[in-house]
Structure 1
């Protein structure tokens, strides 16, 4: 069983080194508990102890109103997937954002607290398991508690485990083909999405150089997915303008600073792919902006001779550009 742990704040969603590590720690060496559950996806929601950023006041209010609806657990039996959402109270959104800048360090207390909070939510998971589901919940519960008690609290030991788990994942991935490694649920995307973007590497959710693999591109995809459910007939450019405004970037002057130019490049590229993946098309104006942003970024790294990932980045961006140019127009 794969265990994936995300976190959600009022203004962001994604992974965090300490929370992700808690899931990896449970997954590594895990025995079989039955084939009813292949994936346990956990999202930790954190209270934001501070005012909202400018223009994000409504998102701030909506997020905290939603906290009152937690916890919740959904069992997607056909997909063999359990999704658990709950408010975690061992830290706050402010503290998480304070430690956001690289290098992001492992915080052992956060790893252990993630496991503690999960243990507290296990009765909710149990309530979703039926007698005819092939899943040994009692053994799973004992396993989680045992692993929590065995968790090392030394940063160096946890870093060694990260390396061990990365090697384990690599070995497991080598058994799969390029598409299987992605573990994509195609029901979440447009029926022709794979045909429109037929290159597996452009679907990666972990590759920094993939359109929706970096943090900004991943956030753009998921925010657009939610927006698109109610705005499928509206132009994606309208969404782009609003999203950039929320992120304090002027769509008409995105290259005013290193931060705004890089964020704009990742956002507009990520949105072009998000539109193709979810709608099966990408409007021409958005395609033009994305290609232009890629060209701008490629030019900016042309003289970065000391950067070890330069060639890999250029190759991936040129693939992205070619894919965008071939996307069907709206």
Structure 2
């Protein structure tokens, strides 16, 4: 088992409490901002996911998969894990706005989990990477539509889309490299 990096109560979310591999690729300040809603760990779902993921790493047994952790967390929150499988973006239009708000929390948990794995362990499961790719696609699709809608366009859509682009690029870079240790 490799060395794990966990946040310290006194230091909080910081490069000093993160795996060096994560720090190498997650250079943007927002990764370490616990109040930035558009960061992986700054929104409520992301912060809760990271906290629970740290506990999972402390207590897990050999062979346990992170996707199992994520599915259990989503079910504990009362959300449907079926949304994780949604890859047809056209289906998003059929989901009512209240249900989509819940599903957005699922995507935030997926994004926090994949970055959390890199932050804690310096690597991530391939199955989690596949879930994250879908979560990013869904979030980008929703934000793009919210940006151009005629009634009440989302004023933060461009900022969120920019952030998604940075996170996706950083994730792609981490996924194609191997940590030194």
TM-score tier, shorter chain, comes to: 0.7 to 0.9
Could you list the per-position Cα deviations for residues 36-69 of structure 1 after superposition, in whole angstroms to 9, with x for gaps in the alignment?
xxxxx7xxxxxxxxxxxxxxxxxxxxxxxxxxxx
* Secondary structure of residue in 2 paired with 1:192: helix
Runs of 4+ deviating beyond 4 Å:
none
Q: Does 1:192 find its partner at 2:38?
A: no
**Where in structure 2 are the equivalents of 1:171-320 lying within 5 Å?**
184=14, 186=16, 188-231=17-60, 233=62, 234-254=64-84, 257-305=99-147, 306-320=153-167
**1:185 CA drift (Å):** 6.1
**1:275 CA drift (Å):** 0.5
Q: Which runs of 5+ in 2 are unaligned?
A: 1-8, 87-94, 148-152
Higher share of residues assigned strand: 1
Query: For residues 321 and 185 of structure 1, do their structure 2 counterparts lie closer, same or farther at Cα, with a shift above 3 Å needed?
Result: closer
Which is greater in Rg? Answer: 1
Contact 2:13–2:33, Cα closer than 8 Å, also in 1: no
Query: For residues 308 and 232 of structure 1, do their structure 2 counterparts lie closer, same or farther at Cα, with a shift above 3 Å needed?
Result: farther
Q: Which runs of 5+ in 1 are unaligned?
A: 1-40, 42-80, 83-181
**1:218 CA drift (Å):** 0.7
What value does the CA root-mean-square deviation take over the aligned residues?
Answer: 2.5
Higher share of residues assigned helix: 2
Distance (Å, rounded) in 2 between the aligned partners of 1:224 and 1:286: 13
Query: For residues 304 and 250 of structure 1, do their structure 2 counterparts lie closer, same or farther at Cα, with a shift above 3 Å needed?
Result: closer
- Normalised by the length of structure 1, the TM-score is 0.42
**1:205 CA drift (Å):** 1.2
